[in-house]
Structure 1
Amino acid sequence: MTLPPPGLLARARLLAGPEVGDAAAEALERTTGRTVERGGPAGGGPYVYVGAALPDALRGDGLLWFHSVNAGTDALLGAGPWPGGALLTRTVGRMGERIAQYVLGWVLAECQSVPEFAAQHARAEWRRIPSELAAGQTAVVHGTGRIGSAVAGLLRSCGIRTVGVVRTPRPVPPGFDAVAVGDEPVAARWVVAALPLTDATAGYFGAARFAAMGGATFLNVGRGATVDLVALEAALHAGSVGRAVLDVLPDEPAAPGDACWRLPRTVITSHSAGITADDDIVTDFAACLRELTAGRVPALAVDTTRGY
């Protein structure tokens, strides 16, 4: 991974895309002591860009560093060849906490029969439903990075046993009680998808993986295209997936007539589990800048060949 030369980085112009609000731009100016420029690279490089998409005009030699305002970079890398020599970093911020709370909220709602009670209320029906204890049950998390570890850590604090799925044997990551390698079977009450989208994870959750879930509830807080929705629908009808909570879809936003809205026992939320805040962007950009100034690869750097 190539780092921007310190001399060029020190005099680089700071550009920001329309996704960076005025408050965030002002905070970036205070952090860097540079003026944030809008509207593209007119006037020549070198430059640093903060945004969600890489404009065509920035794909030249002048781009030193692109800091994405998003955690996922699949759409960014899928838009065309990444400029050689340009560093890519991403924003995570407190997204792990937000997504972990989202997952825990749905887990506890299910244990307390919130969907059933809401349906009863709509029917003006009085019927007692016993609650279910979350503690002592198992959650399997696919994706053991920052977000997956945050999810596992919060679930674990509630007494839920957390198992992280890894491709090859490795030490147990933070937040997890154990790891499962590959398709090693694990009986779970909840299965959480927190995977990035890469060539290896596209369609990762297909018929075979859903068939092996044994009635678990499936929650996707990673990337929509990691899930085969046709296979998920079949698994919901067959009962191998008990319920589904999908914060992400392969194609967003879903139109009112989209078949996804008719999936049984499924709730779809609008890619809202971990919305990026201005503070996240500024804090993570500043952390990357400090590491670069010290000559280190930022912890939030993306390997553009792997996609994460």
Structure 2
Amino acid sequence: MTVPPVSTEHLARARLLAAPGLAAPVVRSLERIAGRPVEPEDTVQGGPYVYVGAALPEALRGDGLLWFHSVNAGTDAVLDAGPWPSGALLTRTVGRMGERIAQYVLAWVLADCQSVPEFAAQHERAEWRRIPSELASGQTALIHGTGRIGSAVAGLLRACGIRTVGVARTPRAIPPPGFDATAGPDEPVAARWVIAALPLTGATTGYFGADRFAAMGGASFINVGRGATVDLEALEAALHAGTVGRAVLDVLADEPAAPGDRCWRLPRTVVTSHSAGITADDDIVTDFTACLRALMAGRVPALAVNPARGY
């Protein structure tokens, strides 16, 4: 299955639907951009229709669906909810998420270099002790995922003098934007930081397991992709063994994490509650507009998702 084409004729007469939870300013902007009112989803009788929201209601997973624009960057939950309607287009919202996530990663990289966690712990103990810092420049970051998010992270780290190596299924002679080089998934690369920016697919579920953690050589691990790409038991064992120096987890397989969840007890780990790249209302409007303009021009939007691949 590939990304399906969308008829401009059908698009021109499609009804516009939006999830009830969308902010009023977003709804007004969608109406202005599409040139038609947003209608309640429970009034739909047949198609074609366009739906904007975080999840696609089961009642709308029919032949009438022309296009679903997700307000999230990840679409795995939408695709896992049931068979994707044949011929329907799926697009996603990225907006400035890459920039936000890149700054999040850089913040933790610099905190690592400046021993921020150690100084915070000393402060709690009212202890005065110098801890040597290290320079980020000249060190290596290995980034699993070379798409929009991974490239944004690589570009910002590279601007700080960090060598960036992207992990791709097929390494390229010319690296993607932001990367100094690429490597295969199991190719050994000595890195100070290993950053996960992978989508969740059948191929990436449990991707970071015992073998990959054992090969990290004490690197810090930062996950800004999807929680289910990580085997949490394997990460815990690697943290205890020292093959992973520390971990920063913005995403978990099961969210939100309950107070008794094992993630809170992992050594040298910080969990940040899926906050690295929160979608802003402007992101939704900007990306919906870009997708609509591409479709009206007869092009496949850059933010289109291939349902067979999951990204």
- The TM-score bracket by the shorter chain reads over 0.9
Q: Quote the residue 1:91 is aligned against.
A: 93
The C-alpha deviation readout for 1:172-196, integer Å capped at 9, x for no partner, is: 0000000112211000000000000
CA distance in 2, matches of 1:23, 1:180: 44
Amino acid aligned to 1:180: A
Task: Tell me how far 1:41 sits from its aligned partner.
Answer: 4.5
C-alpha distance in 2 between matches for 1:239 and 1:152: 25
Equivalent AA in structure 2 for residue 202 of structure 1: T
Contact 1:41/1:58 (<8 A) preserved: no
Q: Equivalent residues in 2 for 1:220-231 (5 A)? A: 220-231=223-234
For the pair 1:108 / 2:110, whether they are aligned, the reply is: yes
Residue matched to 2:192: 189
CA distance, structure 1, for counterparts of residue 21 and residue 224 of structure 2 = 22
The letter for the 1-side match of 2:47 is G
1:215 and 2:221 matched? no
Partner of 2:293 in structure 1?
A: 290
Q: What CA distance in whole angstroms lies between the structure 1 residues aligned with 2:91 and 2:21?
A: 16
Cα displacement string for residues 185-234 of structure 1 (whole angstroms, at most 9, x for unaligned residues):
00000000000000000000000000000000000000000000000000
Picking from 13, 23, 33, the partner of 1:11 is: 13
Q: Do structure 1's residue 260 and structure 2's residue 263 form an aligned pair?
A: yes
Residues 113-137 of structure 1 show CA distances to partners (whole Å, capped at 9, x for unaligned) of: 1111111111111111111100000
How many residue pairs align between the two structures? 308
SS of alignment partner, residue 40 of structure 1: helix
**Normalising by the residue count of structure 2, what TM-score does the alignment of the two structures yield?**
0.97
1:29 Cα deviation from its structure 2 partner: 1.4
The residue number in structure 2 matching 1:122 is 124
Deviation of the 1:43 alpha carbon: 3.6
Cα offset for 1:6? Answer: 1.1
Query: Match for residue 203 of structure 2?
Result: 200
Indicate conservation of the 8 Å contact 1:40/1:58, yes or no: no
User: Which whole-Å CA distance do the structure 2 matches of 1:247 and 1:270 have between them?
Assistant: 6
1:272 aligned to 2:275? yes
Distance 1:18 1:246 in 2: 30
Q: Which of 165, 174, 177 is the aligned partner of 1:174?
A: 177
Identity of aligned residues (%): 80
TM-score normalized by the length of structure 1 = 0.98
Q: Could you tell me how far apart the structure 2 residues matched to 1:175 and 1:38 are?
A: 43
Is the 8 Å Cα contact of residues 66 and 89 (structure 1) preserved in structure 2?
yes
- The question of whether the paired residues in 2 share the 8 Å contact of 1:41 and 1:57 is answered with no
Name the SS for the 1:133 alignment partner.
coil
1:169 Cα deviation from its structure 2 partner: 2.8
Indicate the residue corresponding to 2:150 in structure 1. Answer: 148
- Displacement of 1:72: 0.4
What amino acid is aligned across from residue 115 of structure 2 in structure 1?
S
Q: CA RMSD for the aligned pairs?
A: 0.9
Distance in 1 between residues matched to 2:268 and 2:42, nearest whole Å:
46
Q: In the alignment, residue 247 of structure 1 is paired with which amino acid?
A: D
* Aligned position for 1:31: 33
**Structure 2: 5+ residue runs without aligned partners?**
none
Tell me if the contact between 1:20 and 1:51 (Cα under 8 Å) persists in the aligned partners.
yes
The amino acid of 1:304's aligned partner reads: P
Distance across 2 between alignment mates of 1:194 and 1:84: 29
Amino acid across the alignment from 1:256: P
**Structure-2 residue corresponding to 1:301:** 304
1:60 Cα offset (Å) = 1.3
